Structure 1
Amino acid sequence: MTYPSSTTTIHERAADWAGADVQGTQIHAEAISLAPGLTTGTLTSAPLTVTAFDELVPSWNAVTPGAGSVTVEVRARVGAEWSRWYSFGTWSSAEGRSSVNGQKDSAGQVMTDTLRLSKQATSYQYRVTLRGQGTTLRLLAFNTSERARRSAGLGQASDKTAWGKVNDVPQRSQMIYPDGGEVWCSPTSVSMILAARGIDIKVPQAARATYDRAYDGTGNWSFNAAYAGSLGQRAYVTRLPSLAAAEKFTGAGIPLAVSLGWKKGELPGAAIATSSGHLMVLIGFDKAGNPVLNDPAAPSNDTVRRTYPRAAFEKLWLTHSGGLSYVIGE
């Protein structure tokens, strides 16, 4: 999907990997796996050309049995020069998953799940490494965006067809868990969406399964999408330009986990006074077009459902994260 400020490219079929260099891997109709008898292998894509960008967020869906794992790396071409390969860490359903700290040079830096470039690029290339028998990759997605245009879609007119439709998503508070729940907004949001799709994963389990050792937390966007993907869902990270664009998902029955931040007084009715970055689930819109959320920062499960003013919410979502959203189950 392509918007003025953001492009999300999804690779999940054999044709999407045409021209890739494979070393110890094999391409199937809808997946990548290791070649028979091998325990490690790579696939390096052909260069991809997109609208100019200075941020990139990857996501992937993989099955990693036992101690199997997947590593995703990206490099960008700025002008005539390629950057180094930047790593987004090692993903595994087993313990020990980790992003990589300290990746910063003149071309850019990786902030856990986000590559931020010093200058705009129009091409990138990715390399994925599979380890362990049975490890299979089903989907790779790359969101590229331009930071300066994050708010370009603010106030975009809605066709109103999704107004008055609210999806049934179980309400779950992160705050009822005394052992770290206050920072579990991302896995709590994922667990709510999974529950709506018939997969009842408890919040502490989701938190353990998304914990990033280097980040020392559960908020890695790529890892949260990977976790939903490991449970058989089609899940990826994208950036949407407006609530009007988000309505296309909620109107189709697809709730979104969305990331925003706010200062005191900026989000009327907020479950917490301020946040430097918080995930909640956009489940629909009321009849006036205001977004209806399952906000896991609420103090109890039965107070999670919230309706926030449309203009204030949209501004905070776009200015904070550029409309970042998890799409799970599309």
Structure 2
Amino acid sequence: MRNTLLLLLALSSSAGALTMTYPSSTTTIHERAADWAGAELRGVQLHAEAVSLAPGTASGTLVSAPLTVPAFDELVPSWNVVTPGAGSVTVEVRARVGVDWSRWYSFGQWSSAEGRSSVNGQKDASGQVMTDTLRLNRKATSYQYRLTLRGGGTTARLLAFATSDRARQAAGLGATSDRAAWGKINEVPGRSQMIYPDGGEVWCSPTSVSMILAARGVDVTVPQAARATYDRAYDGTGNWPFNTAYAGSLGMRAYVTRLPSLAAAEKFTGAGIPLAVSLGWKKGELPGAAIATSSGHLMVLIGFDRAGNPVLNDPAAPSNETVRRTYPRAAFEKLWLSHSGGLSYVIGE
């Protein structure tokens, strides 16, 4: 599966970092020692495919070299880390807006233990953090990230950054498909969030992650996934990077990206990689929807029928047996792109 994922990524120049570049977004993935060339290291050490604390240190930081990408005004990070015991990790980002660097914006403290939390109240003249998304007031073309590791054994295996231009997030609407993935449906167990009375109605994200993990042979219950992705400041389980971090903590290679079209999504499902996708809709906009409206909902794209319509495991269905749905292609794609800019979780082995 890892080789399949790598084949879906393009090498970005001589730096060698794996990237996916589309007209409206770029996802940069750092997971090898060469990707951290030029980084400032304090109390951490590099390995072939990881960053860990140096022996005898309780905490340490890695500050990346500046990264240059196409103009963006939104950024969503993601990470795969191991945090034994009370270990934790924080990812911060700053952007060069004009000639000046912004402040460092924090995406909170992640840990496999309880207490993980994003940070509220980060808003200034340059932009703001909305739980899991940095939104800038002006476009930038450069950013840096700062990774802080705490606790013995804490190790980072992957850092990813999805940058995007909000004004162009629906530019790929209706992109022509090569139809190679039409008629291919990946087997992903169906799980409903609605069968859990104590908060399940808002568990779409961990339920989607639980389904994909089950397809990968990692069987965690929906309540387990909800507990493991709970964000104390957000007071919920919908934090995007916290969800992929949970999958990463279980040995998966998981990250957040933004795709430009269903034609691009077909490259993943056609290669056996289901995607958790985020969309919202008003009454009547999504024919056959499990719920009438949603201001933001995650479901699992498992493939396409022979006519090219997306087939999904929608956790808002009332039972596990009714989770599988087929939605009209044009309507679904418009809602996905206009709501979240094609935001997707990629979770593989």
Q: TM-score, normalising length from structure 2?
A: 0.94
| Of 177, 181, 184, the match for 2:200 | 181
1:260 positional shift: 0.0
2:21 equivalent in structure 1: 2
Pair 1:32 & 2:59 matched: no
Pair 1:282 & 2:293 matched: no
Letter in 2 for 1:18: A
Q: Distance in 2 between matches of 1:324 and 1:37?
A: 39
Q: Distance in 1 between matches of 2:58 and 2:252?
A: 25
Pair 1:318 & 2:337 matched: yes
1:190 positional shift: 0.1
Instruction: Output aligned runs, 1:217-232, within 5 Å.
Output: 217-232=236-251
2:262 equivalent in structure 1: 243
1:103 alignment partner, SS class:
coil
Q: Distance in 1 between matches of 2:114 and 2:205?
A: 18
Instruction: Output aligned runs, 1:207-218, within 5 Å.
Output: 207-218=226-237
| Of 166, 169, 178, the match for 2:185 | 166
2:241 alignment partner, SS class:
helix
Pair 1:271 & 2:290 matched: yes
2:176 equivalent in structure 1: 157
| Of 260, 283, 304, the match for 2:279 | 260
| Of 133, 137, 141, the match for 2:156 | 137
Q: Distance in 2 between matches of 1:100 and 1:132?
A: 20
Q: Distance in 2 between matches of 1:151 and 1:86?
A: 27
Give identity over the alignment, percent.
87
1:26 positional shift: 0.3
CA displacement, residues 122-148 of structure 1 (integer Å, 9 cap, x when unaligned): 000000000000000000000000000
1:244 alignment partner, SS class:
helix
Pair 1:291 & 2:310 matched: yes
1:235 alignment partner, SS class:
strand
1:51 equivalent in structure 2: 70
1:255 positional shift: 0.1
Cα-Cα RMSD: 0.4
1:140 alignment partner, SS class:
strand
Pair 1:18 & 2:37 matched: yes
Q: Distance in 2 between matches of 1:39 and 1:180?
A: 37
CA displacement, residues 181-230 of structure 1 (integer Å, 9 cap, x when unaligned): 00000000000000000000000000000000000000000100100000
Letter in 2 for 1:7: T
Letter in 2 for 1:298: A
2:57 alignment partner, SS class:
coil
Q: Distance in 1 between matches of 2:142 and 2:198?
A: 43
1:278 alignment partner, SS class:
strand
Instruction: Output aligned runs, 1:71-110, within 5 Å.
Output: 71-110=90-129
1:253 alignment partner, SS class:
coil
Q: Distance in 2 between matches of 1:39 and 1:325?
A: 34
Alignment length (residue pairs): 330
Q: Distance in 1 between matches of 2:310 and 2:127?
A: 35
1:67 positional shift: 0.2
1:192 equivalent in structure 2: 211
2:77 alignment partner, SS class:
strand
1:151 positional shift: 0.5
1:247 alignment partner, SS class:
helix
1:8 alignment partner, SS class:
strand
Pair 1:148 & 2:167 matched: yes
1:201 alignment partner, SS class:
coil
| Of 134, 158, 171, the match for 1:115 | 134
1:34 positional shift: 0.2
1:178 positional shift: 0.2
CA displacement, residues 30-68 of structure 1 (integer Å, 9 cap, x when unaligned): 000000011100000000000000000000000000000
Q: Distance in 2 between matches of 1:225 and 1:90?
A: 14
Q: Distance in 1 between matches of 2:58 and 2:253?
A: 25
1:267 positional shift: 0.1
Q: Distance in 2 between matches of 1:255 and 1:46?
A: 33
